[in-house]
């Protein structure tokens, strides 16, 4: 009975427990503890698929280029001024000899820092009676000139006297030869140099242009005064004309007429010289259809242009200056011209450096480019009056000269029949420079009247 009661009590207790368990929330069963998992090492983060976010603070400004150096408050010192004086026998704007020198002086100013030209033109007895070249040179010195250029053979005596009186001042004489040790007129003056472009070659080119163009076979040359220089230029023009008349045109040399008429000075002085305008027209009226100029001025070009405008077939060849044809371009065959600039630059630089020394420069054309203002001694500018066919033939002649053609080669005789060069004999520099007469074949006066 006791066992029965005990069983009933146990059963009742179990029912009560079940009822209470059903009413309470379910508890999460506690799992048996396990060994702690090993800690995985920290892996590097995966590479971002997008660029990283911009930093929150503004990016650093890129390094700026340094500010340009500001100009100093004081300008840089200019080259020290170096005045040089130029005495010109004619007007500075004569479109000939003197203007070529004037522009040579401008070339120096352009190419030599500090160089400054001061000048006096019309240095001749007609324009400045009672005044000597050396007096005018003194005037330039008083204005600061440290070098004096005398631009004409007519100023030679003045250049010598001035140089002797001022041995500390460099003197440049254009066209002279007193610094030529192998010349006849050498003077041992330590402050004198000479310069002269070899116009002989470009006068040959001018003569060739005339011979290629003439229809009458008559060429008239208007010459200045008579001396060695002017004779050799006339003879050079004649040699060029004769060669091209015979070798290029195939004409008989006896049919070529080449005449020179001298006016008595480098340009017209009314009442003193012959009138070059009249001389030009005398040639035209006598059947000379090419006028060549040997003057510092342009009368040959001007009168030929007037004749052509009047319906005559007349041409001209200018002289001295690259713009010599400008007065009447359509009738002008061309112009041989002097280039003084490069030689003057050389001499002025040497004076500035205190290294001026006597020298005699007889400068050649630059055969690679005879009209290169930086390199040539003398050039030839073709004119509009030269036909295209004759221009091409003239180019061929220039190339022959460049390749070594020698026209100063015998047999050649002087006007009076004296042998100048024997057959095959080439002239020396002295034989060319000191030309005693015109050559046989040239008509005109050879020596000055006594």
- Give the Cα separation of 223 and 46 in Å (integer): 102
Whether 252 and 274 map to the same domain: the answer is yes
Domain-ending residue, one of 156, 179, 197: 197
Whether 305 and 400 map to the same domain: the answer is yes
Average pLDDT for 218-235: 98
**Torsion-angle region of residue 361: left (phi > 0), alpha (psi -120 to 50) or beta?**
beta
Predicted confidence band of residue 449 (pLDDT cuts 50, 70, 90): confident
Whether 248 and 330 map to the same domain: the answer is yes
For position 74, what pLDDT does the model report? 60
Strands 82-87 and 115-120: parallel
| 278-337 tens-digit pLDDT | 999 999 999 999 999 999 999 999 999 999 999 999 999 999 999 999 999 999 999 999
How many other C-beta atoms are found inside a 10 Å radius of the C-beta of residue 40? 6
**Torsion-angle region of residue 122: left (phi > 0), alpha (psi -120 to 50) or beta?**
left
Range of the domain at 156: 82-197
Do the domain assignments include residue 327? yes
For position 76, what pLDDT does the model report? 55
Whether 220 and 330 map to the same domain: the answer is yes
| 17-52 tens-digit pLDDT | 333 343 333 333 333 333 333 333 333 333 333 333
Average pLDDT for 85-96: 97
For position 378, what pLDDT does the model report? 98
Residues with Cβ < 8 Å from 220, sequence gap 6 or more? 259, 260, 261, 280, 283, 286, 288, 290, 291, 292
Q: Is a pLDDT exceeding 80 seen at residue 60? A: no
Q: In total, how many domains does the chain have?
A: 2
- Give the Cα separation of 395 and 379 in Å (integer): 13
Whether 230 and 267 map to the same domain: the answer is yes
> Residue 176's domain is classified under what CATH number?
3.40.50.2300
Do the domain assignments include residue 349? no
Helix axes 341-352, 97-111, angle to 10 degrees: 50
Predicted confidence band of residue 205 (pLDDT cuts 50, 70, 90): very high
Domain-ending residue, one of 166, 197, 228: 197
Whether 159 and 279 map to the same domain: the answer is no
pLDDT over 70 percentage in the chain: 83
Q: Which of 220, 204, 224 is nearest to 258 (CA)?
A: 220
Average pLDDT, the chain: 87
| 145-177 tens-digit pLDDT | 999 999 999 999 999 999 999 999 999 999 999
Strand intervals (E) in 160-215: 171-174, 192-197
């Amino acid at each position: 009975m006791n066992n029965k009661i005990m069983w009933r009590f146990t059963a009742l207790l179990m029912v009560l427990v079940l009822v209470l368990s059903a009413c309470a929330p379910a508890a999460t069963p506690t799992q048996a503890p396990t060994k702690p998992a090993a800690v995985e090492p920290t892996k590097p983060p995966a590479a971002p698929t997008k660029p990283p976010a911009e930093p929150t603070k503004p990016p650093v400004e890129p390094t700026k280029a340094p500010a340009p150096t500001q100009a100093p408050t004081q300008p840089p010192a200019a080259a020290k001024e170096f005045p040089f004086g130029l005495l010109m026998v004619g007007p500075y704007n004569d479109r000939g000899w003197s203007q070529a020198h004037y522009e040579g002086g401008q070339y120096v100013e352009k190419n030599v820092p500090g160089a400054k030209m001061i000048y006096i033109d019309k240095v001749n007895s007609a324009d400045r009676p009672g005044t000597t070249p050396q007096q005018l040179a003194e005037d330039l010195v008083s204005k600061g000139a440290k070098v004096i250029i005398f631009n004409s053979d007519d100023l030679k005596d003045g250049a010598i006297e001035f140089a002797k009186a001022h041995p500390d001042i460099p003197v440049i004489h254009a066209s002279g030869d007193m610094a030529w040790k192998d010349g006849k007129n050498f003077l041992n003056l330590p402050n004198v140099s000479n310069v002269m472009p070899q116009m002989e070659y470009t006068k040959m080119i001018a003569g060739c242009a005339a011979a290629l163009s003439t229809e009458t076979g008559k060429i008239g040359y208007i010459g200045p005064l008579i001396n060695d220089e002017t004779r050799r230029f006339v003879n050079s023009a004649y040699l060029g004309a004769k060669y091209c008349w015979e070798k290029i045109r195939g004409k008989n040399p006896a049919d070529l007429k080449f005449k020179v008429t001298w006016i008595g000075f480098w340009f017209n002085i009314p009442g003193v010289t012959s009138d070059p305008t009249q001389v030009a027209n005398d040639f035209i009226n006598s059947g000379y259809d090419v006028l060549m100029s040997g003057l510092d001025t342009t009368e040959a070009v001007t009168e030929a242009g007037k004749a052509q405008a009047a319906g005559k077939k007349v041409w001209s060849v200018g002289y001295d200056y690259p713009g010599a044809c400008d007065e009447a371009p359509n009738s002008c065959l061309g112009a041989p011209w002097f280039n003084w600039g490069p030689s003057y630059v050389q001499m002025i630089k040497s004076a500035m450096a205190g290294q001026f020394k006597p020298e005699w420069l007889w400068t050649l054309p630059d055969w690679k480019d005879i009209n290169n203002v930086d390199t040539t001694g003398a050039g030839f500018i073709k004119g509009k009056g030269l036909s295209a066919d004759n221009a091409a033939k003239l180019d061929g002649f220039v190339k022959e000269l460049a390749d070594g053609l020698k026209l100063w080669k015998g047999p050649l005789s002087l006007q009076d029949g004296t042998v100048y060069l024997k057959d095959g004999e080439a002239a020396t520099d002295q034989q060319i420079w000191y030309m005693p007469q015109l050559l046989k074949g040239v008509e005109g006066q050879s020596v000055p009247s006594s």
